[in-house]
């Protein structure tokens, strides 16, 4: 078969989608004119109109999301032909620097114009606040007691100003108001053109098919005794993430903006054995307005995080659309998701877009100051990072194992990164447990049978060259050719002296609340396992077993979108209250060397666990009055976001003074807010 001469701007996962004819993307339907969802980086900020004009002339549909002024980053949707037909390739090459598929793929209606952001400044019953808190997550219990406010003048109102449910295909809920008039709950977004938004305020009475807001929806679900029937409130609205007892978003939202701060949940600092006080606080975060972006269900089911790009950029813009010009002074956004893959040097497409956002929204010219808080990640012990620097005494090749578990139901990716100046003569191969060798191959121009594994041809991204490797699911099922499970061998040869190589495994174990049969794949250094692991298992330093000498490393495991060193992009790790050490799972720096300032580690670490035996932080569930423990830096990030919201200057303890400890704990331990 002939090979595609794909545009250089096409990202590695878009290339994979093309090579499989979109076989692994559940939302792609070849029978319809469905379009794909991308985050695109243009060569200049003003080229989108010219790009759209040329694509339309070539008979390809293109629809943009709202653009961020003065930046080159924009989300767009187009049909599959626009990335399959060679007639479009020259247009991509002319205008676009990078374009990457944001999974999963979803359809939308063609509109031939660049969309403008709609200002969403309606307050409902609450007066404007100087601080706005945004959360991008899964599960928003807007009727829970800790997010309600009662006043003599306004009655009961939720602090949740708006929810954007990004699930495509959702329709507004027909409902009758207290007067018996037919109304709708939830409305389509005219600027983003997918999902539904739910505003706090209702339309004025008498409007045909008027929209009712979150406050009125809650009032329609009051029990006879005056309490809220939370089960029916969420079920009638179709919020599936809230049907169970627990959700990731409910916990994050309570830690960040609930009435009870984390310091009241963990016992006094003098003796953590004492019970929590559960005392409410009056800090700004406990009364701030909230805007929640609900990620699509299909995205939450995909643990790789490669879908985050376009959904996150759109989500933050949606949050910013609620800022009151010259009134909203600060917007704090928490994102407790992230990939384990990427260049890890601050140059990934989404990282660059986040940098552009905080640069644009810097508190001047009537715009609010934007702060974005990210979780450091939980990959420290996941054996997902290989690091190697060749010295003159070493051979020019290395190899290690990529262990694929049996009955794994999902596709597994890994990435290998080197500086382009060192990558010219490098060869990469992937060998199955039975000995089948796969070499880099460009996507084919047909929907021929998909091989069980493969390596894309090396892609040049700035100063870096990247190889993307994939292995199909290993589960044995009808009509599926399962890939082999076991140890796949990755071999890299032709490495020049002093060259540096890094490899990362894409996370595949399920996100919270997902039951998928997916399992985590990971790297193994078989030589180290044979020669050093027994000895290393007897050496324990700073609460962890020795890993020195292995190709598989724990450092450099930061969240793949948390490696840029930006003043207003913050990264939080976790530590153990009982001994002050970093939580075992909390990812560490440093970032890879690149064109941007090197991030040495998280900004700070915050309480993540009571002890080795009692892990996690207590916070709310989907219903009022209960808590559960969430383990991971997902719980550290909203604590730090609360500190940022309250504008409390950090006063760290156990400040590290060695590069190794700075990579693990950044500036030190922060007390719980």
**How far, rounded to the nearest angstrom, does the alpha carbon of residue 21 sit from its chain's CA centroid?**
25
Give the strand pairing for 500-505 and 627-630: unpaired
Confidence of residue 103 (pLDDT cuts 50, 70, 90): low
Indicate whether 323 belongs to any domain: no
Out of 145-159, 182-196, 458-472, least confident range = 145-159
Q: What number is the average pLDDT over the span 170-185? A: 94
Q: Which residues contact 271 (CB under 8 A, 6 or more apart)?
A: none
- 25-43 pLDDT, tens digit each: 644 334 445 578 899 999 9
Task: Judge whether 626 lies within some domain.
Answer: no
Domain membership of residue 48 (yes or no) is yes
pLDDT tens digits, one per residue of 292-339: 999 999 899 889 998 999 999 999 999 999 998 888 999 999 999 999
Largest CA distance in the chain: 83
Domain CATH number, residue 59: 3.30.70.120
Domain boundary among 545, 565, 584: 545
Look at residue 33 and tell me if it is in a domain.
yes
Question: What percentage of the chain carries pLDDT values higher than 70?
Answer: 92
Structural domain containing residue 420: 385-545
Number of domains comprising the chain: 2
Which of 515, 545, 575 terminates a domain? The answer is 545
**473, 483 in Cβ contact below 8 A?**
yes
Is residue 1's pLDDT more than 60? no
Looking at residue 203, what is its pLDDT? 92
- In a domain, residue 25? The reply is yes
In a domain, 192, yes or no: no
- Closest listed residue to residue 450, CA positions, set 12, 14, 20: 20
Q: What is the pLDDT of residues 128-163, one digit of tens each?
A: 678 999 999 999 999 999 999 987 776 889 999 999
- Average pLDDT, rounded, for the chain: 90
Region label for 495, one of left (φ > 0), alpha (ψ between -120 and 50) or beta (otherwise):
beta
What phi, psi does 217 have (nearest 5°)? -60, -40
CATH number for position 468:
2.60.120
Is residue 113's pLDDT more than 60? no
pLDDT (average), residues 91-105: 85
Look at residue 420 and tell me if it is in a domain. yes
Q: How many CB atoms lie within 10 A of CB 236?
A: 15
What does residue 215 show for φ and ψ, rounded to 5 degrees?
A: -60, -45
* 177, 240, 286, 602, 663 from 221: Cα distances, Å: 11, 17, 24, 43, 49
- Domain final position from 519, 545, 571: 545
The percent of residues in the chain predicted with pLDDT above 90, rounded, is 71
Among residues 228, 226, 155, 165, the alpha carbon closest in space to that of 195 is found at: 165
pLDDT confidence of residue 274: 83
Digit-coded pLDDT (tens) for 394-438 = 999 999 999 999 998 889 999 999 999 999 999 999 999 999 999
pTM for this model (two decimals): 0.92
Q: Does residue 636 surpass a pLDDT of 60?
A: yes
- 492-527 tens-digit pLDDT: 999 999 999 999 999 998 889 888 888 999 999 999
Please tell me the distance from the alpha carbon of residue 609 to that of residue 635, in angstroms, as a whole number.
10
Residues facing 598 on adjacent strands: 564
Buried b (16+ CB within 10 A) or exposed e, 164-173: bbbbbeeebb
- Residue 503 belongs to some domain of the structure: yes
At 361-403, the pLDDT tens digits run 999 888 999 999 999 999 999 999 999 999 988 999 999 999 9
């Amino acid at each position: 078969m002939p090979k595609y001469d794909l545009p250089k701007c096409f990202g590695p996962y878009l290339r994979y989608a093309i090579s499989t004819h979109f076989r692994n993307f559940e939302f792609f339907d070849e029978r319809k004119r469905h379009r794909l969802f991308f985050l695109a980086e243009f060569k200049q900020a003003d080229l989108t109109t010219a790009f759209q004009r040329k694509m339309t002339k070539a008979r390809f549909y293109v629809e943009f999301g709202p653009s961020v002024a003065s930046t080159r980053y924009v989300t767009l949707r187009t049909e599959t032909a626009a990335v399959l037909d060679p007639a479009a390739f020259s247009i991509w090459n002319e205008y676009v620097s990078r374009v990457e598929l944001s999974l999963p793929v979803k359809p939308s209606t063609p509109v031939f114009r660049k969309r403008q952001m709609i200002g969403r400044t309606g307050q409902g019953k609450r007066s404007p606040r100087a601080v706005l808190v945004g959360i991008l997550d899964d599960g928003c219990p807007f009727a829970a007691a800790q997010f309600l406010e009662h006043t003599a003048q306004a009655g009961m109102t939720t602090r949740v100003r708006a929810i954007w449910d990004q699930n495509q295909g959702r329709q507004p809920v027909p409902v009758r108001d207290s007067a018996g008039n037919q109304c709708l709950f939830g409305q389509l977004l005219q600027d983003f053109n997918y999902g539904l938004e739910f505003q706090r305020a209702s339309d004025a009475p008498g409007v045909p098919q008027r929209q009712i807001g979150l406050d009125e929806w809650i009032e329609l679900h009051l029990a006879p005794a005056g309490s809220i029937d939370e089960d029916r409130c969420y079920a009638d609205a179709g919020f599936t993430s809230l049907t169970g007892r627990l959700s990731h978003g409910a916990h994050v939202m309570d830690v960040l903006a609930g009435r009870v701060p984390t310091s009241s949940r963990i016992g006094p600092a003098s003796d953590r054995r004492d019970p929590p006080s559960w005392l409410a606080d009056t800090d700004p975060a406990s009364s701030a307005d909230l805007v929640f972006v609900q990620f699509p269900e299909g995205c939450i089911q995909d643990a790789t995080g490669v879908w985050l790009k376009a959904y996150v950029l759109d989500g933050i813009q949606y949050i910013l659309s609620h800022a009151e010009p010259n009134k909203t002074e600060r917007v704090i956004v928490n994102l407790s998701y992230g990939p384990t893959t990427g260049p890890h040097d601050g140059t990934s497409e989404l990282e660059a877009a986040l940098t552009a956002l905080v640069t644009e929204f810097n508190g001047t010219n009537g715009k609010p100051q934007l702060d974005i808080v990210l979780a450091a990640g939980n990959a420290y012990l996941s054996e997902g990072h290989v690091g190697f620097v060749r010295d003159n005494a070493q051979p020019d090749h290395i190899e290690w194992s990529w262990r694929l578990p049996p009955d794994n139901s999902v596709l597994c990716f890994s990435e290998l990164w080197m500086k382009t100046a060192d990558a010219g003569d490098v060869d990469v191969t992937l060998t199955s447990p039975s000995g089948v060798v796969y070499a880099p191959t460009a996507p084919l121009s047909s929907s021929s049978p998909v091989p069980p594994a493969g390596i894309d041809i090396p892609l040049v991204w700035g100063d870096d060259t990247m190889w993307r490797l994939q292995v199909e699911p290993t589960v044995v099922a009808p009509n599926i050719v399962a890939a082999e499970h076991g140890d796949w061998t990755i071999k890299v040869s032709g490495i020049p002296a002093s060259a540096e190589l890094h490899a990362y495994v894409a996370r595949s174990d399920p996100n919270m609340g997902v039951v998928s049969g997916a399992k985590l794949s990971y790297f193994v250094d078989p030589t180290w396992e044979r020669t050093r692991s027994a000895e290393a298992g007897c050496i324990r330093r700073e609460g962890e077993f020795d890993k020195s000498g292995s190709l598989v490393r724990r450092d450099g495991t930061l969240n793949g979108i948390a490696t840029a060193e930006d003043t207003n992009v913050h990264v939080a790790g976790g530590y153990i209250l009982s001994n002050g050490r970093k939580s075992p799972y909390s990812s560490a720096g440093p970032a890879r060397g690149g064109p941007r300032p090197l991030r040495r580690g998280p900004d700070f670490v915050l309480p993540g666990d009571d002890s080795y035996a009692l892990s996690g932080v207590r916070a709310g569930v989907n219903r009022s009055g209960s808590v559960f423990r969430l383990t991971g830096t997902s719980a550290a990030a909203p604590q730090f976001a609360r500190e940022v919201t309250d504008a409390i200057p950090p006063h760290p303890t156990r400040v590290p003074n060695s590069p190794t400890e700075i990579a693990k704990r950044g500036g030190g331990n922060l007390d719980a807010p």
